[in-house]
Structure 1
Amino acid sequence: MILSDKDIRLLCTNSQNPLISPFNEERLQGASYDISMSNTVHVFKDAVKTIYLTDQNSIDSIYCKVKIKEYKPFVLKPNEYVLVTLKEHLSIPHNMIAHIRPRTKFTRLGIIITDQHCNPGYQGILQVGMRNVSPNSIALFPDLSIAQIVFEELKSEPSTSKLYDAKEHASYQGEKEFIGARFTEKDFSPEARELYEKIMSGACVK
């Protein structure tokens, strides 16, 4: 069941662990909430390299933090992809999931927001992918409502061990500062990890 504005408001204003914080009544829609960008964007460095998913240091090195200064927008260039830090902190109850979806006005302008799924028990400040597929550069400011979030109540509450806040390797749980792509051993089969290690060691080079 999708939550209506009444349900969302109640969980944001009458809860010790608000669904959305800070909450702004003007951004509440009939069955969704408009989420906004903060003053922080992470762009990809210009250096082109091959990223091996088992090399976390290499993955972490591809991002560059950009702070949007007052009265000076962040200009999203054509075909550029960035990660935008949201302004809102989310706290998803154990009996719900959430979906981040694009807003129509931005898709009509040529800005694509990546869909994102929030698991039961997730808490933190998300990074949302944004790409400009138009031929124009787009000026973006902090506090701009860039996407919408929809909450859905589950038919039953998941097993405790499957909740996001109970997972040992929940990479993005409690995220406050930027976290890029995270991979653990569980993401790879033993065969895939063995191949990666051979490539990294040069054993596969002829």
Structure 2
Amino acid sequence: MSHRVILLHGLWMPGAAMHWLATQLRTAGYSPETFSYHSVADGPDLAVPRLVERLQAHAREHGDGIDIVAHSLGGLIALQALCEAPDLPVRRVVCLGSPLTGSGAATGMLRWAPAASLLGRSAALLQQGIACWQGRAQVGAIAGHVPHGLGALFAGFGGEHDGTVAVAETRLPGLADHVVVDASHSGLLFSAQAAAQTVAFLRDGHFVHS
């Protein structure tokens, strides 16, 4: 039986946004399942306990470990769930373009009321991020550095970024590994390079560094 992987999408995206990446994982021998949530209307207050419940159900049904691959806000949702339920049987987590230390773009949007409303109930988690990672699961982060996106209008990035998230915002203390690929924020979901690095981390616990 192939190893199961839960996929989480990011802000303003449907679960279908993970379809291409799910196909790459399936080709590599994994069994992907998408976890969908309402990022604006519900946010982490509802998504996190639902994800915990989903992972607990997997443990009851299958009794083995599971991996998570998450894009953007999805990475924060995943790590928040693991912080709240540290005994979940999650082996490895790959975060794609997740602002793990907090999003400068989100902070900038919160200064302008019309934009702030677009973040909905996910605003606080996006702004604050995760302090550090000390959980049992190995966590790897993939950042993009192709600066195509509207986030730069709000964030005023000083270094490399993917158009929405700065590379520095993806470097969380406690990560098992970190790698930067040639992709924009949304492009991480359709990048052959990002997909190959995701498979490498799920398989080996580290990325491929040239």
Greater percentage in helix: 2
Q: Which has the higher strand share?
A: 1
Which structure's relative contact order is higher, taking Cα pairs within 8 Å and 6+ residues apart?
A: 1
Pairwise TM-score range, normalised by the shorter structure:
under 0.3
- TM-score, scaled to structure 2: 0.25
